[in-house]
C-alpha cells in the first residue's frame, strides 16, 4: 500500500475515526428504492461507500457495510421499459414488494431490480450486507421505532416545519399505513391509543380498522423519519447522499435532528454529484426506464476501469461516463496510472503517491503483482477489426504476452469489440475487404500505383520499420502519377471501403502480407 494516503476515501475514513471515536466496529451504509432499473448514477453512492469501507479496513478497522433495499416504498409510476404495463397500473399505490415482476425473473417487481444489482456488484468488488426493509417492516421489527416516532410526534412536526413554507396540519402523523383491505397507502390515520394501537380509515372503501404495531405488516415510517430511525438502530457512522437529500432543508438536514429523538447521532456524510452520459442518448431516470445501468457500463469498460472512473473523481464533482471517442482516453489514463504504480514511468513523488492509491482502490480484489499487457486501446481496436473480432487471432499476433496477463487482455478485448460494434463513431469502424467485397473502380494510373504497392508489400514489408516502409507508399503513388493524398484515399477504399482510416504504413504493417496481398491481387 502507498505510504501517503491523501485520497478522498482515506480523508473521509480519518474523519469518521476522528468524529466517531475509536470503535470496535464502524458501520457504513447505503441504500435505494428498487423502483426501477438501478442506474449508474445510483452506483456512484454504492461505490463511494465501498471505497471508504476499503480505506477504513486499510487502517485496520472492522467495518460493517450495509445496503438497504427500501422495498416497502410505494409503487408510484410504471416505468416505460416494463412488460404488461396495464397489469402494473393496477398495483399503483401499493408497496413495490407486492407488485408482480412482469419480466418473470423474480418473485416480485422489487426483487427483480434487486437481483440485477446483487448479481453484478461482485464483478466490481462491491459485496455489502443487504437489508430488506419490506421484510423488516412486515415482521414488525420496527414496532419500537414507530412507537418512538409517535411519542415524539410534536417534536418531529416542529423539526419538519422549520424547513417548510407552510406548517404540517395538526392531523399529521409521523407514520403511514397501507390498507389491509386494498394494500394501498390511500389511508387516513384517525388516532393512536398511546401504546401500540393505530386506528385508520381506508379512503377508497371507507372501512376502518385498528392495528397493533407489534403484529401488523401494514405500518411504516415516512422517509424523513425512517432514515434517522435506521441510523440510530444500526449505529450508522457514515452514509453519503445525493444533491436532493443534501440540499438546504432536505432530508439530511431534518434527519440529523430527528435522529437524536431516537437516541442516535447523524453519520459522517458528503454530497455526491450527478453523472451524465456521453456518446449514447437517454436521460438517466429509474422510473422512466430510460437508464444506463452498471451492466451497460461494463460492456465497454473492464471492472477495474469502471472503478477507476469513480476512484479518480471526487464525489462532489459532476462527470460524464463516455461511450464516444473519450473511451480511448479513459483507457489511456488508466494505463498511465498502472505504469506509474509499477514504476514503468517516472513522475514526481506527489503524483506517484496519488496515482498509486488510485490504482490500488481501482482493483476489484487483490492488487496485481505485475502490470497488464500494455497495449493502447486504439491499437487493440484496430487489431480486432483486422481479425474480424477473433480474439484468439489477436492473441497469436501479439508478442511477449505472459500467461498471467491473458485473462485481463481477453476482458479488454471483449470491451473493445463491444465498443467498436455498438458505440464507436462510424469513421472509426471498418472491416478488411474480402473476396466478396465489390471491387473499387480504378483508372489505369490507379491500377499501376496499386500494383507497385503490391510489389513493395511483397518485397519490403517484413524487413522494414513502419517509418521506412512509409517512404515506399510515396514511391507507389509516383508509379501511378498520383498525388499522395489521392493515392492514400484509394488504398483505404480498396482495403477497408472507407476514404480514410488508421495511419496507413502502420496499418499495412499490422495487417501483414497474408491479409494485404490477397486484397491488392484483385486489382
pLDDT at 285 (0 to 100) = 43
How far apart CA 457 and CA 475 sit, in angstroms, is 12
CB-based burial label for 364 (10 Å; 0-12, 13-18, 19+)? middle
How far apart CA 498 and CA 429 sit, in angstroms, is 9
Closest of 302, 231, 310 to residue 47, by C-alpha: 310
The 10 Å CB-count burial string (b at 16+, else e) for 392-428 is eebbeeeeeeeeebeeebebbbbbbbebbeebbeeeb
Q: Hey, what long-range contacts does 412-418 have (CB within 8 A, 24 or more apart)?
A: 412/302, 412/331, 412/372, 412/375, 412/377, 412/380, 413/380, 413/384, 415/298, 415/299, 415/300, 415/301, 415/302, 416/377, 416/380, 416/381, 416/384, 417/384, 417/389, 417/391, 418/299, 418/300
How far apart CA 126 and CA 128 sit, in angstroms, is 6
Q: Going by DSSP bridges, is the β-strand pair 197-202/187-192 parallel, antiparallel, or unpaired?
A: antiparallel
Query: For the chain, how big is the Rg over CA atoms in Å?
Result: 30
Please provide the size of the chain in residues: 523
CA 209 to chain centre: 45
The 10 Å CB-count burial string (b at 16+, else e) for 215-246 is ebbbbbbebbbbbbbbbbbbbbbbbbbbeebb
Residue 171, classed as helix, strand or coil, is coil
Residues of the chain with pLDDT under 70: 1-5, 281-290
How far apart CA 241 and CA 251 sit, in angstroms, is 10
How far apart CA 459 and CA 165 sit, in angstroms, is 84
What's the pTM?
0.91
Amino acid at each position: 500500500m502507498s505510504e501517503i494516503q491523501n485520497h478522498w476515501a482515506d480523508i473521509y475514513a480519518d474523519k469518521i475515526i476522528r468524529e466517531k471515536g475509536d470503535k470496535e466496529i464502524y458501520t457504513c451504509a447505503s441504500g435505494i428504492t428498487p423502483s426501477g432499473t438501478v442506474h449508474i448514477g445510483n452506483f456512484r453512492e454504492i461505490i463511494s461507500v465501498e471505497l471508504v469501507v476499503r480505506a477504513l479496513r486499510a487502517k485496520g478497522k472492522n467495518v460493517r457495510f450495509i445496503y438497504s433495499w427500501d422495498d416497502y416504498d410505494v409503487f408510484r409510476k410504471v416505468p416505460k421499459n416494463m412488460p404488461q404495463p396495464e397489469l402494473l397500473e393496477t398495483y399503483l399505490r401499493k408497496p413495490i414488494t407486492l407488485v408482480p415482476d412482469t419480466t418473470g425473473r423474480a418473485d416480485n417487481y422489487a426483487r427483480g431490480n434487486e437481483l440485477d444489482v446483487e448479481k453484478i456488484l461482485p464483478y466490481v468488488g462491491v459485496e455489502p450486507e443487504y437489508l430488506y426493509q419490506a421484510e423488516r417492516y412486515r415482521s414488525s421489527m420496527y414496532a419500537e421505532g414507530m412507537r418512538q416516532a409517535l411519542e415524539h410526534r410534536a417534536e418531529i412536526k416542529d423539526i419538519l416545519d422549520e424547513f417548510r413554507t407552510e406548517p404540517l396540519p395538526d392531523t399529521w402523523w409521523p407514520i403511514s399505513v397501507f390498507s389491509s383491505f386494498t394494500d394501498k397507502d390511500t389511508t387516513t390515520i384517525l388516532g393512536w391509543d398511546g401504546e401500540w394501537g393505530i386506528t385508520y380509515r381506508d379512503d377508497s372503501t371507507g372501512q376502518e380498522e385498528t392495528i397493533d404495531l407489534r403484529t401488523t405488516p401494514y405500518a411504516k415510517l415516512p422517509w424523513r423519519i425512517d432514515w434517522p430511525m435506521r441510523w440510530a438502530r444500526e449505529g450508522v457512522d457514515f452514509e453519503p447522499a445525493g444533491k436532493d437529500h443534501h440540499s438546504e432543508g432536505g432530508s439530511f438536514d431534518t434527519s440529523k435532528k430527528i435522529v437524536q429523538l431516537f437516541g442516535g447521532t447523524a453519520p459522517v456524510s458528503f454530497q455526491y454529484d450527478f453523472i451524465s452520459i456521453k456518446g449514447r442518448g437517454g436521460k438517466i431516470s429509474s422510473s422512466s426506464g430510460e437508464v444506463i445501468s452498471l451492466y451497460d457500463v461494463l460492456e465497454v469498460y473492464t471492472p477495474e476501469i469502471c472503478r477507476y472512473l469513480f476512484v479518480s473523481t471526487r464525489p462532489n464533482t459532476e462527470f460524464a461516463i463516455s461511450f464516444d471517442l473519450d473511451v480511448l482516453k479513459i483507457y489511456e489514463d488508466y494505463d498511465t496510472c498502472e505504469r506509474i504504480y509499477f514504476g514503468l514511468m517516472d513522475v514526481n513523488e506527489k503524483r506517484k503517491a496519488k496515482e498509486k492509491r488510485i490504482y490500488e482502490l481501482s482493483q476489484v480484489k487483490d492488487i496485481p503483482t505485475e502490470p497488464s499487457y500494455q497495449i493502447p486501446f486504439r491499437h487493440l481496436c484496430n487489431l480486432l477489426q483486422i481479425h474480424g473480432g477473433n480474439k484468439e487471432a489477436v492473441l497469436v499476433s501479439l508478442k511477449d504476452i505472459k500467461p498471467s496477463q491473458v485473462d485481463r487482455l481477453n476482458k479488454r478485448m471483449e470491451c473493445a469489440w463491444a465498443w467498436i460494434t455498438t458505440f464507436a463513431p462510424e469513421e472509426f469502424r471498418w472491416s478488411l475487404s474480402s473476396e466478396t467485397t465489390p471491387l473499387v473502380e480504378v483508372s489505369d494510373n490507379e491500377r499501376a500505383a496499386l500494383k507497385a504497392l503490391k510489389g513493395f508489400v511483397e518485397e519490403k514489408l517484413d524487413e522494414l520499420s513502419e517509418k521506412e516502409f512509409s517512404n515506399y507508399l510515396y514511391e507507389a503513388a509516383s508509379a501511378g502519377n498520383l498525388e499522395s493524398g489521392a493515392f492514400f484515399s484509394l488504398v483505404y477504399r480498396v482495403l477497408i471501403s472507407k476514404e480514410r482510416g488508421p495511419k496507413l504504413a502502420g496499418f499495412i504493417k499490422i495487417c501483414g502480407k497474408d491479409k494485404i496481398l490477397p486484397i491488392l491481387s484483385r486489382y
